[in-house]
Homo-oligomer: A and B are copies of this chain.
C-alpha cells in the first residue's frame, strides 16, 4: 500500500456524555458500544484520571512497551476509534496526560486507566464496519481495507 486507502461512512448517532468515576476508560467505552450496538465510531475524551497505563510501540521488536503512572493527571487529549476485532467492538486510542506540574506524558492507551472524571464526544459511523486483522509488516492489528467487514 503506497497511498492512503479509505472507506466512506455515513454519520450515525452522535453522543455526548460522562464517563464513570473510578472505572476503566477503555472498558467503559467498549461496554457502551456493545450495549448501544455501535460497531464503528470515532471519539474524543477530556477529563482526568487517577492512574493510567500507556505504551509506545517498539517498531523493531513488534511489542508495546507499557508503563503505569499511579498519579492524578488531566486527560489533556484522548482521541480514538471503535472498530471490530472478531466481531466485537474494540478501541484503538492514544492519550496525552498532564500531571500536577504541567508535565506531559502520553502514548497508546491501555487498561487499566482509572477515570476520575471524563466527558466523551462519540460519532457513530454507518456502513460496512472495518475489521482489524494481523499485519505482518508492522506486527499490529490493522484495518482490512481491501476487504472491509470481512466475510
Say how far A117's CB is from chain B's closest CB, in angstroms.
Answer: 5
Chain B residues within 8 Å of A44, by CB = 42, 79
A140: which B residues are within 8 A, CB to CB? 117
Interface of A is mostly: strand
> 8 Å CB contacts to B: which residues of A89-148?
92-96, 98-108, 116-117, 119-122, 125, 130, 137-138, 140, 142-143, 145
Binding site for B on A (CB under 8 A): 1-11, 13-21, 23, 28-29, 31-32, 40, 42, 44, 46, 48, 50, 54, 56-60, 65, 67, 72-77, 79-81, 92-96, 98-108, 116-117, 119-122, 125, 130, 137-138, 140, 142-143, 145
